[in-house]
Amino acid sequence: MNPSMRQAQIVELARKKGGVTVEQLVDAFGVTPQTVRKDLNLLCDRGALRRTHGGAIHPSGVENVEYEARRQIAILEKHAIGRAAAALIPDNASLFINIGTTTEAVSQALADHRGLMVITNNINVANRLRLAPSMEVVIAGGVVRPSDGGIVGEAAVDFIRQFKVDFAVIGVSAIDADGGLLDFDFREVKVAQAILANARHVILVSDSSKFTRTAPVRIGHLSQAHTFITDNCPHASIRQLCAESGIRLIETTPRADQQDP
């Protein structure tokens, strides 16, 4: 395959997946990492891709899927996950909630709680919970991402680091079979990492579609969570990781036929 054909296919892969990594492209095309990096640099110079650490993203990949459309994906599953997460959080607790449609479902399920202090970098969560009685909502400062109302950047990271809370409710864009937690925007990743580091109990919430997706930027690892709530966990490797790491796995609609042998 000549370089032009390979580069065109790289752009198409990035468009479909949101982003690609050097390792993925080495495996896909059977070329050296140096060749892949050269391709990515050329494509980024032309504006076809945007470079990230270890790979590149498609310009439309930052926005991922349009936010309103994402709200409708697995909507019943997200509501069930939201209710399960809310049931773990007592009244009068403090918590972080980060960006995401599943974390928004958790915030909806928290509306009847009392005495909560909610710190968030999600404008949609803040707007929903500000009307709830007996609840204090604190919103991070920083750059507002137009695609979804997320607040990102170093100012948001510094703000989050001022707190030490009882719970963190974290959503991600993708989960690797090895437990890697991934996202599309490195700025949001920095905020999520600060949230993980400053909560006593981390609740990861994700519908099962995240197991079939990929994203180019690493947030952390599933082992950093204390509780993982999903509608269905199809990977035996993830189940084993939860068992070995002492992570409580909650499945709202488990399906035995989708489990690995």
* Closest alpha carbon to 122 in 182, 83, 71, 181: 71
pLDDT at 62: 44
Global pTM reads 0.74
First to last CA, the chain: 37
**Six token digits for residue 153:** 């950047």
Task: Give the phi and the psi of residue 74 in degrees, each rounded to 5.
Answer: 50, 45
**Six token digits for residue 15:** 């468009």
Q: Cβ neighbours of residue 247 under 8 Å, at least 6 residues apart?
A: 222, 223, 225, 226, 227, 228, 241
SS3 content of the chain, % helix, strand, coil (to 5): 45, 25, 30
**Six token digits for residue 129:** 């919970």
Alpha carbon 73 to chain centroid distance?
Answer: 15
Give the pLDDT confidence of 44-79 residue by residue, as tens digits.
888 888 787 788 877 655 444 466 666 777 889 999
In the chain, what's the furthest Cα-to-Cα distance? Answer: 64
Beta carbons of 236 and 260 less than 8 angstroms apart:
yes
In which residue ranges of the chain is pLDDT below 50? Answer: 62-65, 258-261
Domains identified in the chain and CATH numbers: 3-61 (1.10.10.10), 68-258 (3.40.50.1360)
